[in-house]
Structure 1
């Protein structure tokens, strides 16, 4: 069924309505909305094949655990990994919850176990590697573009920002002080500290940038003066990483991980780190205790004569 036919189909119209709810009421990102709605349509396609009947919106109120398990098995057979399958099931459950509430019913979803996700830890860079990466990226391009790349990467490492948060900073934030208000996921704002080296790098970029940086315009702009793409930041990091011989795990987002791990290692408590990172829940921040423990164990193994 193509997209033009979907609004006339009650269940697919409900999926479109759910997408609007996610975007405007839940303030989810456009990428998340597209992914979740696509999952809803995949689920409807599967149910039609699985049950051998057309799936209407009220069919979604009569789900069984066997239906969800069969959908999960079908997706895993397509090669979907455990982490992706877990996200897919989360989207399906969200869609079914919305379907029940839209019909005026209390959601009563069958219990199913999500695939066990392998526990992975962020790989932080050492302070020397993080700074070397930023400086090399700054030297990899001439003039103001190099100054821009240096300023962005120092901001990621020095303040723990996501790439999207750094690119979302407006020129109205100038001149920078000792702290910066940023907008993170779900439009939540927080205040992050700015180190003197970060302020100096941003100031140097602003001085060299040939385009006016005023008002609501982006602080960091592309070569033609428009909004800067996150892909260009990743490309600059990839080039610098290769020239320095650093591991592929040292991505722009790894600089944020490094910020968190290094602060934790210096005694910052989890609640404060949660605020600095903009995590909605403390459980998201607690992974860094595992990162720090892994780092300490690695140091021990390399240093202890009996290790």
Structure 2
């Protein structure tokens, strides 16, 4: 589909985003085919009206779509229709109201304990070292899981900072704390494949690029063993990195740079995180909380 090519080549969207947006476009076309009783081509998409979109969203909501998911679906549909008919072609339609969620951090002890538990489950020393290094990167440097797995052997030998390529190919420099650097170096010394500059730094058991799904599955298993919340995901480690820095007086602009956020508003959510975390602590400790 040309829409997918446009997203990947021109908009530089991630593989996951391209896959999700393509699925949305295919669902819309299938709906319109039944709704209008005719074959839908690119020119036909220019005839989509606000009532058509409301009918489509009503169908999707009938399948159990939440407000947040419906809002994302509408955003993807608008992008598809603007691509098909030109900017502004998509009908203006107010999306469902979405209560802005506040990321919930985990404590430093929980973060380190989670990484330790994941590592200790592996019988292969190099795999244990790999899992420990990946999770420490998420918590100790605030990387997204995709950013960590996108690193190549070109980062070796390590220095005091790391150049990271984030969303839409934006690059940033993040400091490497000594424990994080030591974990990566230990893994690099153990991995059974050569870490060439053009190959993935973190490898799967067969030598290919480590899949993010494997990391998520290992974290799910570890949080069950440790009795941690379902919100304890690899991405929660990044949230915790941000929250703990902010709680220790980090400047919001500096935190924006460290996280690779395009706008400050994306970073400002962590001011709510810190307040929520402190309130949780207060309620747990105060006899009348």
TM-score normalised according to structure 2 size:
0.93
1:200: which partner in 2? 182
Residues 153 and 197, structure 2, Cα contact 8 Å, conserved in 1: yes
Summarize deviations over 1:128-159 as a string: whole Å, max 9, x none.
Answer: 11111112222222312111111111111000
Please, which of 40, 48, 61 is the counterpart of residue 55 of structure 1?
40
Moved more, 180-189 or 53-62: 53-62
Shift of 1:25: 0.4
**1:156-171 → structure 2 map (5 Å cutoff):** 156-171=138-153
Please, which of 71, 78, 92 is the counterpart of residue 93 of structure 1?
78
TM-score normalised according to structure 1 size:
0.88
**1:75-86 → structure 2 map (5 Å cutoff):** 75-86=60-71
Please, which of 190, 210, 220 is the counterpart of residue 202 of structure 2?
220
1:294: which partner in 2? 276
Structure 2, unmatched stretches of 5+, are none
1:276 maps to 2:261: no
Shift of 1:305: 5.1
2:109: which partner in 1? 128
Cα RMSD of the aligned pairs, angstroms, is: 1.8
Distance 2:97 2:280 in 1: 26
Please, which of 21, 44, 47 is the counterpart of residue 36 of structure 1?
21
1:153 maps to 2:135: yes
2:215: which partner in 1? 233
Q: Which has the larger radius of gyration?
A: 1
Number of aligned pairs? 288
Distance 1:54 1:115 in 2: 29
Distance 1:191 1:35 in 2: 29
**Which portions of structure 1, spanning 4 or more consecutive aligned residues, are displaced by more than 4 angstroms?**
none
